[in-house]
Amino acid sequence: MSGIEILWNGWRNAYVRSNQPDDQNGSVFTRLLASGEPDSSTYVVHRSETCFAVLNIYPYSTGHLLVVPYREVAAIDELEQHEVIDLWAEVNSSVVALRASHNPEGFNIGINMGKPAGGSVAEHLHVHVVPRWTGDSNFMTAVAESRTIPEALDVTYDRVKHEWPTKGNGIG
């Protein structure tokens, strides 16, 4: 066998364990909201009427945001119409803020609904907004199933929050 066989990242253990379903405490997102921690500590970039945008603390690329309804539902068709509208307005605002803060060349935007679809927090719907640049993939992802992120989360948080649209959720 060639290349790296095992790359230990024990620092992820706390996240993996915290992400285990717990009927009494809810999803990792529900627990984050209930923590009482300031948004700057939890990387919540913006709060709207029915949802919030938060930096992914294990991002695919710099600026990787998650847009999450406050209400814990597993699927988009479980949301009320006003929640769907607010969710997609918040996704749009995420794109506006990331364009201004990081100037990506493109985006991956999507939902992994259910465990079979790759949902790591399947019990709480969330939309991934991932900024992308030509050539942003590197050998670490392909060879070691790891990512290298060139910017600290605190810096990304400040940049994105500063550029968040102040009117109309970035629409119109």
**Which residue is catalytic, options 64, 124, 126, 128?**
126
What length is written for the chain? 172
Say if strands 65-69 and 127-132 run parallel, antiparallel, or are unpaired.
antiparallel
Strand, helix or coil for residue 2: coil
CATH value of 29-170 in 3.40.220.10, 3.30.428.10, 3.90.1640.30, 3.90.1150.10? 3.30.428.10
- pLDDT string in tens for the chain (172-residue length): 455 454 455 555 554 555 555 455 799 999 999 999 999 999 999 999 999 999 999 888 899 999 999 999 999 999 999 999 999 999 999 999 999 999 999 999 999 988 888 878 999 999 999 999 987 765 445 445 556 677 888 899 999 999 999 865 455 4
Q: pTM of whole model > 0.85?
A: no
50, 70 Cβ separation under 8 angstroms = yes
Give me the residue spans of the domains in the chain: 29-170
Is 162 labeled as catalytic in the residue annotation?
A: no
Q: 84: closest CA among 69, 64, 66?
A: 69
How many CA atoms are closer than 13 Å to the CA of 43, on its beta-carbon side? 21
Rg (CA), the chain: 16
